[in-house]
A and B are shown apart, each in its own frame.
Chain A
Amino acid sequence: MGFFLEVLIGGLMTGMLYSLVALGFVLIFKASGVFNFAQGAMVLFAALAMARFSEWIPGWLGIANPVVANILAFIIAAFIMFLVAWLIERLVLRHLVNQEGATLLMATLGIAYFIDGLGQTVFGSDIYKIDVGMPKEPVMVLQDVFAGGLLINKEDFIAALVAALLVAALALFFQKTSTGRALRAVADDHQAAQSIGIPLNRIWVIVWTVAGIVALVAGIIWGSKMGVQFSLVTVALRALPVVILGGLTSVPGAIIGGLIIGVGEKMSEVYLGPLVGGGIEIWFAYMLALVFLLFRPQGLFGEKIIDRV
């Protein structure tokens, strides 16, 4: 029982991180109809920027305090993500308005290649460290309830907490600010939004920036867990079944989907994996999403697609 709970908690916490990456997908898809495959590359790029600047800043400015260095690095990295968003809007999106989904998808793959190359050229391709002071050692709780106790990873716990906070902040931003309302209006109907005077291009930059900052936070959490390295781009692949399960256009869907996929993945690997030789978690997540789609083709919370002839 204790072990089951550990797997469950482990799954939930991993799922929270998946949600964070999935959120990036959903935000951009909602606002610009682009299925952004470059999300993984953005996570890597943001994490690389964060890692390298927090390493360089103490040397440049003579600040020994790691907290200040980290905060400065975060600000710089966020600014870089804004620049990336602005450039993408300027150079790519603006020219691809009204293209088909597949074309846009390919364009983001092209962007992903570019960012991968650029990130490694500017920041290097070694393994880098992000140290934001997350505790690494596990703690044991509830030892009197279960034999052997429950092992909880504090780092995962904090990461999940940060992810939850970010999601809450985004929800507030979308619901309560005027920019957020404009964003939702664009998401609903581009042309109607434009006709009432919402500047589409600016909205896109904002959305991509927000997605960039979400990528940065995801990158920091993953990076502090396992080091910043090229392989971070693969976390995007882990988050894809999440978006499919949750629905491409739904923020709550990304979160619930993330939790379901996280738990499903870990449970399948731990309990079913040994029966078939292990290593099944990645395709199991996709299969789970696929089976789910057969019953609800638009995802858990996605909008129902109505076709007219």
Chain B
Amino acid sequence: MKLRKYALAVSLAAMGLSFTLTAPVHAQAKGKQAQEQFFPVLVYRTGAYAPNGTPWANGFVDYIKLVNAKGGINGVTATFEECETGYATDRSVECYERLKNKGGGATAFQSLSTGATFALTEKAPVDKIPLITAGYGRSESANGAVFTWNFPLLGTYWVGADVLIQHLAKKEGGFDKLKGKKIALVYHDSPYGKEPIALLQERAKMHGFDLSLLPVAHPGVEQKATWLQVRQNRPDYVLLWGWGVMNSTALREAQATGYPREKMYGIWWAGAEPDVKDVGEAAKGYNALTLQHGVELNAKVTKDVLALVHGKGQGTGPKDEVGSVLYMRGLISAMLGIEGVKQAQERYGKGKTMTGEQVRWGLENLDLTQQKLDGLGFAGVMRPVSTSCLDHMGSSWVRVHTWNGSKWEFSSDWYQADEKIIRPMVMHASLKYAEEKKITPRTPEQCKQ
């Protein structure tokens, strides 16, 4: 008897040791034969974009912990491993290669970088792993018939740009009032910042407003010349397409040149606490889009995280960060991945580990009704998301929120992007891509499989 115990202990220890050797950061690893679903987490907690990357990563990881605290995905434990990319494409690729076969195969990748998304878009179809880019990535990838493995859930930059123009039109009292207005786009000089230009030019043609483009070089700490130009042209509105330290610098320069912050509108990546916190009172009146959610301190899911994750001392970041904008963005991104797995389980068997291919089906047939969302604790945070083969975005609801000097407050109703404008652009760009890559778009029949 004693001998058997010894043998068991030794083999367990050996197992544990080999486990630590192969997968060091498995947070939720259990000794049992439990089913596990592995989520790779590409993060950047260092470097120029760390202030924005960190809360996102914390939210993402906390949600996975929350799901496990509530019993996993239909009993399947969600595991994860972080990999630091520093917002660099080559490190992202290395992380992708490192994590894609870990833990029984990666469920889905979320790169949180437009540059990395472009590189991974070429790799994901080969490895059959879906790529979720909630609120970023390439806009034309909304067409799932061509971009089978990309999921720009909740909105693309074209959605953002479209809603911004709608909001400005509403402010002015109609689209016809935009005629002759001057709108300047101050953007991060990278694929990320250049994504919206195509749509803004389209809208500019339609409504006759004058669009000027002002690029800011990475990382965006030197913007004096940009804002001198703003002062020279005196645009009616400035659209801010920045990331990281570029946003707060833009607000400071706006203050220094006396440009009214009320006339500045940011994309959802330029509308979080790190962007305005240090500028404080001087950023008062600055507006930014929200990717559905804003600061959600009172949402049920926030309280759940505080009670079940932070309450047990397992929180990833500081407690007061829970519920902040980018934290929620990370949390929702994780939720979308997990719901994709759940949907896949509906078809391929509950309580089982899903492969990348199965999760892809789940994400393509995602149907998050308001009732489901409310059940998950996202009441008041999100609107329904439902994807299909032709629509990998699933939802294009956007609100605007405004910084009042100490916190973000919603300042508009819900908007929805104008499909009549975006759809043709998406089709055009995605078919061009398909032609270049010699991809045959999936037919509706193929989609059903």
Contacts and interface: CB of A to CB of B under 8 A. Distances in A.
Contact present between A and B (CB < 8 A): yes
Interface of A: 3, 6-7, 10, 14, 120, 125-129, 136-138, 151, 153, 155-156, 222, 225-227, 229-232, 234-235, 238, 265-266, 269-270, 273-274, 277-279, 281-282
Given A231-B220, A281-B217, 5 more contacts: A226-B252, A231-B48, A232-B221, A266-B224, A278-B213
A279 B278 contact: no
Contacts of B232: 3, 270
Interface stretch (B71-79, B254-262, B291-299): B254-262
B274 interface: yes
Contact of A126 (B50, B212, B229, B252): B50
A125 B220 contact: no
Nearest to A124: B50
Q: Is the interface of A mostly helix, strand, loop or mixed?
A: helix
Interface stretch (B2-10, B243-251, B327-335): B243-251
A55 to B, nearest CB: 12
A156 B258 CA distance: 14
A269 B225 contact: yes
Contacts of A230: 46-48, 50, 245
A266 B225 contact: yes
B137 to A, nearest CB: 23
Contact of B256 (A7, A136, A229, A234): A136
B239 interface: no
Contacts of B278: 127-129, 227
B225 A281 contact: yes
Contacts of B274: 126-127
A231 B231 contact: no
17 contacts: A7-B228, A127-B245, A136-B252, A138-B258, A153-B256, A156-B256, A226-B249, A226-B252, A230-B46, A230-B47, A230-B48, A230-B50, A231-B221, A234-B221, A270-B228, A270-B229, A279-B189
Contacts, number: 113
B219 A266 contact: no
Contact of A231 (B189, B224, B245, B258): B245
A51 to B, nearest CB: 10
B219 A234 contact: yes
Given A126-B51, A138-B258, A279 B277 contact: no
Given A136-B282, A138-B257, A229-B48, A278 B224 contact: no
A225 B252 contact: yes
Contacts of B282: 136
A270 B225 contact: yes
Nearest to B47: A230
B319 to A, nearest CB: 15
Given A137-B255, A266-B224, A278-B214, A126 B54 contact: yes
A201 to B, nearest CB: 34
Contacts of A229: 48, 51, 244-245
B441 interface: no
Interface of B: 45-48, 50-51, 54, 189, 212-217, 219-222, 224-226, 228-229, 231-232, 244-245, 248-249, 252, 255-258, 274, 277-278, 282
A231 B244 contact: yes
A136 to B, nearest CB: 6
A226 B45 contact: no
Contacts of A273: 225, 229
A235 B256 contact: no
A151 B231 contact: yes
A227 B212 CA distance: 28
B193 to A, nearest CB: 10
Contacts of A156: 256
Contacts of B225: 10, 265-266, 269-270, 273, 281
A136 B231 contact: no
Q: Which one of B221, B232, B244, B248 has the greatest number of beta carbons of chain A within 10 Å?
A: B221
Given A151-B231, A234-B221, A125 B258 contact: no
Contacts of B219: 231, 234
A99 to B, nearest CB: 30
A125 B221 contact: no
Contact of B257 (A128, A151, A235, A279): A151
A125 B229 contact: no
Q: Which one of B215, B217, B225, B282 has the greatest number of beta carbons of chain A within 10 Å?
A: B225
B50 A125 contact: yes
A153 B225 CA distance: 14
A274 B216 CA distance: 13
A7 B224 CA distance: 9
A197 to B, nearest CB: 45
Nearest to A238: B222
Contact of A277 (B46, B47, B213, B226): B213
A15 to B, nearest CB: 11
